[in-house]
Chains A and B, each alone.
Chain A
Amino acid sequence: MGQTFAEKVLARKAGLERVVPGQILVVRPDRLLSHDNTAAISRHFYKIGVERMADPGMSVIVLDHVVPAADETHATNHRTIREFVAKQGITAFYDIGEGICHQVLPEKGHAWPGGLIVGSDSHTTTHGAFGAFAAGIGRTEAAAVMATGQIWLRVPQSFRIVVRGQLPGRVSAKDLVLHIIGDLRADGADYRSVEFAGETIAAMSIAGRMVLCNMAAEMGAKNGVVEPDETTRRWLEGRVRHDYEEVHADPDAAYERVIEYDVSDLVPQVARPHTVDNVVPVGEVVGTSIDQALVGTCTNGRLEDLEAAAEILRGRHISSKVRMLVLPASREVLLAALERGIIAELIEAGAVLLNPGCGPCLGAHQGCVAAGEVTISTANRNFKGRMGSKEAFTYLAGPATVAASALTGVITDPREV
């Protein structure tokens, strides 16, 4: 019997011939990702009683959650992190302005096929888009990884999601993954490794694959992954400067479930408040009045997302009653969008440009919402209270649907504008 992607990577990392689901392994990750929560992690680290990290080269730290610091508390938090970075000799430190950790980590060459990445952020699953095994962990265990260089992981069972057909116009990877989450529900892949495969995925850009793997967290998955191919290798060229050994699932691997989709007739999808699995075709919520529209976040803040929004808003102006926020996922994305004129088009259309970072996604700053207000966002979570008031409402959608809705002031099918 063959092995799944997760079984192969984890066996290799544990130095074993093969492993089985349920087995607990102690492994050495290639990279440990953390962000603004590094201050808290550093306190846990020193509480353990060691002075130096086991391997400072493992650590990748990106300030992104509340950047630039919104107030003195956040500023102090950032200062604590900069001091920790200097003291420990961490070289892969990216200060404010570089972007969101899940975009910066691969851009700077820290994700590669067959790599093992753990991160103290639930959307660490994103890096499966590069053929890595990437999973979220807690802060205390991030501190333990810093101290020991190791972590315990349970070998997950695996799902394989096979997707066929060509995505119709103005229907994107986000619509596909929302549709899948609506089917599987928020816990449908709890603790599972989810492999995305099939001709649709093979034809998909890295940005699209990152959307799928990012949102795998919202079906409960331990990790999401797309097998590396020529698209992956091209993207990584010049970013990852060392050799790596790709890991591909065996054709006869044992999956707990194999789920098939055909996207030829897929329509834009929207997740209604207050859970990500509360998904309907856009037609069911068309006409819902909105106050704020957000394009950005670690889910949909890449060049093709900004392009999808600009394509709809070009030469037009958003509704006068809507605030539209645009947050490029990184400095690199922002520069590319500037060069192509996309940023100018979005600003001319009435959008507010924010610096690369997490922005209002987690309700800390830069566009929090008041009671009764409605946001449509390209983010990955719409939980009650997440973006500010617990009496506010967040709808999740792809960038085209968000842009079309900003244009009209009500939730709108992007194929009709």
Chain B
Amino acid sequence: MQIRITGRVWKYGDDVNTDVIFPGKYTYTISDRPEMAQHALEDLDPAFAGSVQPGDIIVAGKNWGCGSSREQAVICLKEAGVAAIVARSFARIYFRNCINEALPIVTCDAVDGVEAGEEVTIDFAAGVVTTPRGVYEFPPMAPEVMEIIAAGGLIPHVRQELGLK
């Protein structure tokens, strides 16, 4: 994981659920990861999938990723090139799914300091998000969790634990 990333912001509100991030009707019909990206945020922001760039950052309000446990709601964003998600808070299973997919997540109020299209910088070592209108601190993650992200996600982590190189 990079220690410091800067990216263009896609800004969203509170309680964005996994049905609008990745519609349920595709959950058993699409299993190809790049194809999932084509439907990312389809029912919330139809412009997203066509114009998201690698390295972009999602900044949102509270309870990002509530609803169904579907992991595709994390994978579609990762495959679309999203470098990190910064939200006031995350729904629990979504939070775990991000860790398991090694998609960096940051819990803070940066949504107050940035508009869509502007840039933010996340410094994971210092634990701060710098926005055009303020600097927001975030708490470090537990070491056990950082290990999973550092391994590149849960599957590589489990492989390491099981001694499968």
Contact B158–A220 (Cβ < 8 Å): no
- Evaluate contact between A122 and B158: CB separation under 8 angstroms: no
User: In the complex the two chains form, what is the Cα distance from A291 to B120 in whole Å?
Assistant: 46
CB of A73 within 8 A of CB of B29, answer yes
What residues of A have a CB within 8 angstroms of the CB of B131 in the complex? none
B155 contact from A144, A152, A362, A384, Cβ within 8 A: A144
A364 proximity list for chain B (CB < 8 A)? 24-25, 27-28
Give every chain B residue within 8 A of A191 (Cβ-Cβ).
92, 95
Report if A140-B28 is in contact (Cβ < 8 Å); known contacts: A48-B162, A191-B92, A383-B19. Answer: no
Residues of B within 8 Å of A368, CB to CB, are: 25
A positions within 8 Å CB-CB of B: 24, 36-37, 40, 43-44, 47-50, 65-66, 73-74, 77, 120-122, 136-141, 143-144, 147-148, 152, 154, 186-187, 190-191, 220, 222, 275, 277, 362-364, 368, 381, 383-386, 388, 390
B63, A385: Cβ atoms closer than 8 Å: no
B15 near A275: Cβ-Cβ < 8 Å? yes
Shortest distance from the beta carbon of A207 to any chain B beta carbon, whole Å: 23
Binds A, one of B3-11, B48-56, B64-72, B121-129: B64-72
* Shortest CB distance A62–B (Å): 15
Q: Is B91 interfacial (CB 8 A cutoff)?
A: yes
Enumerate chain A residues within 8 angstroms of B44, measured Cβ to Cβ. 384
Given contacts A48-B162, A220-B91, A220-B92, contact A140 B154 (CB under 8 A): yes
Please tell me if the beta carbons of B69 and A122 are within 8 angstroms of each other in the complex. Answer: yes
Given contacts A140-B97, A385-B25, 10 further A-B contacts (CB under 8 A): A24-B144, A49-B162, A50-B164, A138-B69, A140-B100, A187-B15, A220-B91, A220-B92, A381-B68, A385-B43
B154 adjacent to A24 (CB under 8 Å): no
Q: Which B residues fall within an 8 A CB radius of A?
A: 15, 17, 19-20, 23-25, 27-29, 31, 43-44, 62-63, 66-71, 74, 89-93, 95-97, 100-101, 142, 144-145, 153-155, 158-159, 161-162, 164
The distance from the CB of A47 to the nearest CB of chain B, in whole angstroms, is 6
Which single residue of chain B is at the shortest CB-CB distance from A119? B69
A186 CB contact (under 8 Å) in B66, B90, B95, B97: B66
Across the interface, do B71 and A138 meet the contact criterion of CB distance under 8 Å?
A: yes
Does the CB pair B19–A48 fall under 8 Å? no
- A sample of 26 cross-chain residue pairs with beta-carbon separation below 8 angstroms, ordered by A number, consists of A36-B28, A40-B31, A73-B29, A74-B28, A77-B28, A120-B69, A122-B68, A136-B69, A138-B69, A139-B69, A140-B154, A141-B96, A141-B100, A144-B155, A154-B142, A187-B15, A191-B92, A220-B66, A220-B92, A277-B15, A362-B27, A362-B68, A363-B24, A385-B19, A385-B23, A390-B43
Within the complex, the shortest CB–CB distance from B56 to chain A, in Å, comes to 23
A138 touches B97 (CB 8 A): yes
Q: Which single member of A40, A186, A363, A383 contacts B20 (CB below 8 Å)?
A: A383
Question: Which chain B residues lie closer than 8 Å to A65 at the CB level?
Answer: 28
Complex CA distance for A36 and B69, rounded to whole angstroms: 13
Contact A386-B24, Cβ < 8 Å, known A139-B71, A140-B154, A220-B91? yes
Main secondary structure of the interface of A (DSSP, over half): loop
Chain B nearest CB, measured from A189 CB (Å): 10
A148–B162 CB distance below 8 A: yes
| CB <8 Å contact, B153 and A140 | yes
Closest chain A residue, CB of each to CB of B161: A148
Contact B43 A186 (CB under 8 A): no
Shortest Cβ distance from residue A137 to the other chain B in the assembled complex, whole angstroms: 7
In Å, the complex CA distance between A136 and B23 comes to 19
Asked if A137 and B96 sit within 8 Å, CB to CB, the answer is: yes
- In the complex the two chains form, what is the Cα distance from A386 to B19 in whole Å? 6
Query: Does B92 lie within 8 Å of A48, measured CB to CB?
Result: no
B15, B91, B92, B93: residue with the most chain A Cβ atoms closer than 10 Å: B92
A285 to chain B, nearest CB (A): 20
B62 in complex: contacting residue of A74, A148, A187, CB < 8 Å: A187
- Closest Cβ of chain B: how far from A22's Cβ, in Å? 8
A137–B69 CB distance below 8 A: yes
Q: CA of A200 to CA of B20 in the docked complex: distance in angstroms?
A: 36
Best-surrounded residue of B28, B63, B68, B144 (most CB of chain A within 10 A): B28
Residues of A within 8 A of B101 (CB): 140
CB distance from B137 to the nearest CB of A (A): 18
